[in-house]
Amino acid sequence: MSQYLSKTITPKTRRALEILAAASDPLRGMTANTFAAQYYAGTDKEYLLTAVSNQGEGACTGKKAWLCAGSYLARLVKQGFVYRRLTRDGLTLFSITEKGREALKL
pTM: 0.86
How many CB atoms within 10 Å of residue 71?
10
pLDDT tens across 17-46, in order?
999 999 988 778 999 999 999 999 999 999
Q: Which amino acid is at 23?
A: A
Considering the segment(s) 3-105 as one domain, its CATH architecture is Orthogonal Bundle (1.10)
Q: How many helices (H) and strands (E) would you count in the chain?
A: 4, 4
pLDDT digits 0-9 by tens, 6-20: 468 999 999 999 999
Tens of pLDDT, residues 55-103: 888 898 999 999 999 999 999 999 999 999 999 999 999 999 999 999 9
pLDDT at 25: 85
Q: Per-domain residue ranges for the chain?
A: 3-105
